[in-house]
Amino acid sequence: MCLGVPMKILSKDGDNIVAEVDGVRKEASITLLGEEIAIGDYVIVHAGYAISRLDEEYATETLRLMREVFSEEDMA
């Protein structure tokens, strides 16, 4: 199963970001986003791309629900 996961942006270099969730860091491209993003924003990361920006409240609620449903191995 493929799953897009809300992640917090830690750094940005051009069209590339490093984002984190639960201590797991991933590199992703922001080339598919049609809006500006900044360090500290939350984005949905799927298959190496940030595909949408989320507000913090929505992102944290989504992560809370995902933690209820999936095991730690599923989230990594």
pLDDT, position 4 = 83
* Per-residue pLDDT at 73 exceeds 80: no
CA atoms of 34 and 68, how far apart (whole Å)? 31
The pTM (predicted TM-score) of the whole model is 0.84
Structural domains in the chain, sorted by start? 5-75 (2.30.30.140)
Dihedral sign from CA coordinates of 33, 46, 59, 19: negative
User: pLDDT tens across 3-37, in order?
Assistant: 788 999 999 999 999 999 999 999 999 999 988 99
